[in-house]
C-alpha cells in the first residue's frame, strides 16, 4: 500500500455491535465506528441480511436502467431530508463534488461566469482536487496544486465575516454543521443564520455537508433538523451505506432541475447491494427512540468527560464528541494507551481526542469507556 495512512499496530478481524476483536482474539470497545460509518454497530443483523439477500438477487446493471433499491433509497433520502431530488454516489467527496458542480452550474445559468463558493476555516470536505480546494487547511498546504480556483474561506465563528464574503459572485456557502475532522466544533446558530440569510439575499445556495453529522450521529437523522436553518443542498455518506460505500447529494425542489442527462455520473453509484444496505441502515437509524437515546447518552458522556483530570474542553452534539486536552498532554499517546486498554478512539489533531461510538451503545459501554479514559488520563 502507498504510505498514505498512519496505522495503529492492530489487525481487526471481527466486529459485533460496539465490540471489535483483533487477530489475537483480544476484545475492544469501539468508540470510533470506522470514522462514524458503523452508526448501527458492526454487523447489525438487518443490514447483513439486506446485503446478503440483495447479493443473491442482483448486483448491478449500470445507471442506464432502473433498479428498485436505488429508487427506494432516493425516495427515502429525499423524504427524510429536503424533499427534491437525489444523486447517489460512492463516497463523501463524490457527494460534495456533486454539490459543487450543481452550485457552479446553477451560478453559470444565472449569468455568473466566475462563481465562488464560501467555506469555513477548519472545514473538511474531502480529498479530490475540488474538495481539497474547499478544505482550507489542506488547500493552504498546496501539495497538489494547482487546485481549482473559486473557493473563499472565512473564520468559522464570525457571522459578519461570512456575510461580508457573500456577494454577487457567490454560488454557494458550504458548511459542516459540526466540523468533524477539525476536532468536533459545532458551528454556532448565529453563523448558520448569517449563512442562510446571506445566501437568500444574493440567490446563492446553502450546502450542508452532513457526511459525518448525518445518519443519527448528532441525535437527529440529519443535524440540520436540530438547527434554526435548512440548507438548499445536503450531502451524506459514511454511515449512510451501513458499512458499504454510499454517498448522496440531495437537492431541494427549487434546485432539483439544475442537472441534465450527461452532467454527472459514476459507474457504481446507487448499485443495488450498497443501496439495499443503505435502506437497511436508514431503517435502523431513523428511529425516534434511538435518536433520543443518542442525545441523552451524548449529554451524559460529555458531562462525565468534563469531570476528568487533563480535560480542558468538551464539545459536541449527540454522540459526536471532541475533547481538547490540557496543555502539554499528548493526545496520540493517550489514544494509544486507550487502545492498549481496549478502547478505540481517535486523534483528530494535536491535543485533541474524538469519540464517535456506534449509536447502539448503552450506559454500560459509556461507563467502560470512562473507566479506560480515567486510567489513561491519570
Which residues bind to ligand PLP, rule: CB under 6 A?
91-93, 96, 124-126, 176, 180-181, 209, 211-212, 237
Answer yes or no: are the C-beta atoms of 5 and 16 closer than 8 Å.
no
Task: Report the nearest approach of ligand PLP to the CB of residue 38 (Å).
Answer: 14
| Residue number, nearest CB to ligand PLP | 92
Listed residue (365, 80, 320) closest to 213, CA to CA? 320
Task: Identify which of residues 124 and 185 has a Cβ nearer to ligand PLP in the complex.
Answer: 124
Task: Report the nearest approach of ligand PLP to the CB of residue 286 (Å).
Answer: 20
Task: Report the nearest approach of ligand PLP to the CB of residue 352 (Å).
Answer: 15
Bridge-based pairing of strands 27-30 and 343-344 is: parallel
How much of the chain is helix, strand and coil, in % rounded to 5?
40, 20, 40
Answer yes or no: are the C-beta atoms of 53 and 47 closer than 8 Å.
no
Determine which helix (DSSP H) or strand (DSSP E) holds 303, and give its type and residue range: helix 288-306
All three cell numbers of 187: 458551528
Task: Report the nearest approach of ligand PLP to the CB of residue 24 (Å).
Answer: 29
Phi first, then psi: give them for residue 276, nearest 5 degrees: -65, -40
Task: Identify which of residues 116 and 210 has a Cβ nearer to ligand PLP in the complex.
Answer: 210
Task: Identify which of residues 17 and 92 has a Cβ nearer to ligand PLP in the complex.
Answer: 92
All three cell numbers of 336: 494509544
Task: Identify which of residues 192 and 377 has a Cβ nearer to ligand PLP in the complex.
Answer: 192
Just list the catalytic residues. Answer: 124, 209, 238
Task: Report the nearest approach of ligand PLP to the CB of residue 210 (Å).
Answer: 8
Helix 331-340 × helix 363-377 angle, to 10°: 120
Task: Identify which of residues 124 and 301 has a Cβ nearer to ligand PLP in the complex.
Answer: 124
Dihedral of the CA atoms 181, 126, 287, 76 (nearest 10)? 170
Q: Using CA atoms, how far apart are residues 146 and 141, in angstroms rounded to an integer?
A: 11
Amino acid at each position: 500500500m502507498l504510505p498514505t495512512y498512519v496505522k495503529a499496530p492492530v489487525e481487526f478481524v471481527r466486529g459485533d455491535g460496539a465490540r471489535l476483536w483483533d487477530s489475537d482474539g483480544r476484545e475492544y470497545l469501539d468508540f470510533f465506528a470506522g470514522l462514524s460509518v458503523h452508526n448501527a454497530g458492526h454487523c447489525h443483523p438487518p443490514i447483513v441480511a439486506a446485503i446478503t439477500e440483495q447479493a443473491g438477487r442482483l448486483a448491478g446493471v449500470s445507471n442506464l436502467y432502473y433498479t428498485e433499491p436505488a429508487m427506494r433509497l432516493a425516495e427515502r433520502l429525499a423524504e427524510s431530508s429536503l424533499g427534491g431530488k437525489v444523486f447517489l454516489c460512492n463516497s463523501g467527496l463524490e457527494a460534495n463534488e456533486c454539490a459543487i458542480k450543481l452550485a457552479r452550474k446553477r451560478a453559470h445559468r444565472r449569468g455568473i461566469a466566475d462563481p465562488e463558493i464560501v467555506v469555513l476555516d477548519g472545514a473538511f470536505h474531502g480529498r479530490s482536487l475540488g474538495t481539497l480546494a474547499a478544505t482550507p487547511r489542506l488547500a493552504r498546504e498546496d501539495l497538489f496544486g494547482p487546485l481549482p480556483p473559486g473557493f473563499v474561506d472565512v473564520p468559522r465563528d464570525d457571522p459578519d465575516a461570512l456575510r461580508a464574503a457573500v456577494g454577487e459572485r457567490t454560488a454557494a456557502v458550504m458548511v459542516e454543521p459540526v466540523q468533524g475532522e477539525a476536532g468536533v466544533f459545532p458551528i454556532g446558530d448565529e453563523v448558520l443564520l448569517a449563512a442562510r440569510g446571506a445566501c437568500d439575499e444574493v440567490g446563492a445556495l446553502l450546502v450542508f455537508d452532513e457526511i459525518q453529522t448525518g445518519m443519527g450521529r448528532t441525535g437527529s437523522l440529519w443535524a440540520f433538523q436540530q438547527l434554526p436553518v435548512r440548507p438548499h443542498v445536503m450531502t451524506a455518506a459514511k454511515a449512510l451505506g451501513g458499512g458499504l460505500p454510499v454517498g448522496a447529494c440531495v437537492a431541494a425542489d427549487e434546485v432539483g432541475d439544475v442537472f441534465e442527462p450527461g452532467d454527472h455520473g459514476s459507474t457504481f453509484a446507487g448499485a443495488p447491494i450498497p443501496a439495499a444496505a443503505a435502506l437497511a441502515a436508514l431503517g435502523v437509524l431513523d428511529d425516534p427512540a434511538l435518536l433520543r437515546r443518542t442525545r441523552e447518552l451524548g449529554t451524559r458522556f460529555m458531562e462525565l468527560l468534563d469531570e476528568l483530570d487533563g480535560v480542558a474542553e468538551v464539545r459536541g452534539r449527540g454522540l459526536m464528541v471532541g475533547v481538547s486536552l490540557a496543555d502539554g498532554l499528548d493526545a496520540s499517546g493517550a489514544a494509544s494507551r486507550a487502545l492498549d486498554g481496549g478502547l478505540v478512539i481517535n486523534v483528530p489533531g494535536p491535543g485533541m481526542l474524538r469519540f464517535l461510538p456506534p449509536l447502539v451503545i448503552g450506559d454500560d459501554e459509556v461507563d467502560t469507556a470512562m473507566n479506560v479514559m480515567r486510567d489513561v488520563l491519570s
